[in-house]
Structure 1
């Protein structure tokens, strides 16, 4: 059993436990359930947007602790001040050290669109994302079939959330559907964990024209950012690059300023 299979197995247990603890009806009474949330697509495509989606995560299965003890209060306002286009917040606890409360707090702290970064396999999690204040949900092609992808994305749209659908190879292009607004292409091979920007560029060229391409993982320099942007990517999800620093918000600020300065000379 690989790490992705372990996460999904654990997630099935978590979802069943969550359903017993909080019903769908109860989720509708959460204070953010009926909020109108900002659009990720609009934010990324707006004039002057840098497309950066700054991620908040404390750890990962492959890297272990990245920034243990990090708090949303210390980082999210700084990300917003830096001028990013959106925020990504990990809510998985066992493998990434996150919590639903991180996203709810993030929603209280900024007006930017927020993606719930989670391993979503059940409709309950989509309702849960709405209740905690998400603007969009992540769906991962590697753990879903076509019918699941369609049902979960459709449900998200009906709840006025957008969908970031993550793919890793050509086969997962078959899972895309009309309820998906953004397609995240993971630059990291899940089997070897090597980063291959050219593979991502090849996949992006095969996307339907109405879907916004988002580069994920392995963006470790301004050069990589501009290389991907010149290839047609509109969004750039960056987490570890910022979170590994003592002050992630300051690192984000520096990167955004570098991008802005170089953009002005192009």
Structure 2
């Protein structure tokens, strides 16, 4: 069993328990459930840099990244830096995140927030909406074609943007007819955790034009972004590069400045 299989197996158990503790009606009555969402895809389309900055304490591949940071301060730092949106990991066991992180980030800033989670049930999409997310992540490698379509439609009906993540051509093929707003190419192989930017370049021309193209993982310098822009990528999800510093907001600000200066 690889790490992805383990995460999904644990997630299925976690979601079943959550459904018993917090019913759907409670999620739908949340104060944030009826708030007007901010479109991540529209923000990226209008941006010259396209940065989605991530808050991630740890990961299965790198263990602890940064346990000392206050999410409220990081969120405000990212907003001040001028990022297009913020990605918040909500998985507890493997990434050290929580739905509270999402709630605190939502209270701190007025930029689009992506709930980064291993979604395997519509319940988690309702959770995302009720805790203030503007967008959700669907991972093609853990969902069937029907699940991708159904979950994307469910999210769109709630007003949420959908970032659909692929790793290879087979996953792209089963994703092309999904009503997602953004298609992300993850440069990290979730089975081996090896990272290569070439993955984004290889799949770029095969992604239909109706998706906003996002490159994820392994982006550590502005030159890489300028290279990926030549392949029509508009969004760039960056986490560890900022989170490994003591001031992620300042790090994001410097990074964005370098991109703007190189254009």
Does 2:4 correspond to 1:4? Answer: yes
Q: What is the match of residue 117 of structure 2? A: 118
Q: What is the match of residue 90 of structure 2? A: 91
The offset of 1:201, in angstroms, is 1.2
Do the aligned partners of 1:186 and 1:200 also contact (CA within 8 Å) in 2?
yes
Do the aligned partners of 1:146 and 1:174 also contact (CA within 8 Å) in 2?
no
The offset of 1:143, in angstroms, is 0.3
Q: What is the match of residue 235 of structure 1? A: 235
The offset of 1:50, in angstroms, is 1.2
1:160 and 1:145 map into 2 onto residues whose CA distance is 22
Q: Over the residues paired in the alignment, what is the CA RMSD in angstroms?
A: 1.0
Q: What is the match of residue 137 of structure 2? A: 138
2:70 and 2:76 map into 1 onto residues whose CA distance is 11
Do the aligned partners of 1:57 and 1:98 also contact (CA within 8 Å) in 2?
yes
Do the aligned partners of 1:54 and 1:239 also contact (CA within 8 Å) in 2?
yes
- Paired positions, count: 262
1:191 and 1:134 map into 2 onto residues whose CA distance is 27
Structure 2 portions without partners, runs of 5+: none
Do the aligned partners of 2:75 and 2:109 also contact (CA within 8 Å) in 1?
yes
The offset of 1:37, in angstroms, is 1.0
Q: What is the match of residue 208 of structure 2? A: 208
Give a deviation string over 1:63-111, Cα, whole Å, max 9, x none: 0000013221120000000011111000000100001011111111111
Match of 2:164, SS state, is strand
Do the aligned partners of 2:148 and 2:178 also contact (CA within 8 Å) in 1?
no
Structure 1 portions without partners, runs of 5+: none
Do the aligned partners of 1:126 and 1:156 also contact (CA within 8 Å) in 2?
yes
2:225 and 2:195 map into 1 onto residues whose CA distance is 14
Match of 2:232, SS state, is coil
Q: What is the match of residue 154 of structure 1? A: 153
TM-score normalised to structure 2 length? 0.97
Q: Which range moved further: 88-97 or 106-115?
A: 106-115
Do the aligned partners of 1:49 and 1:85 also contact (CA within 8 Å) in 2?
no
The offset of 1:191, in angstroms, is 3.5
Q: What is the match of residue 74 of structure 2? A: 75
1:149 and 1:180 map into 2 onto residues whose CA distance is 9
Does 2:31 correspond to 1:43? Answer: no
Does 2:180 correspond to 1:180? Answer: yes
Deviating beyond 3 angstroms after TM superposition, the runs of 4 or more aligned structure 1 residues are none
Q: Which range moved further: 233-242 or 190-199?
A: 190-199
Match of 1:87, SS state, is strand
Do the aligned partners of 2:3 and 2:191 also contact (CA within 8 Å) in 1?
no
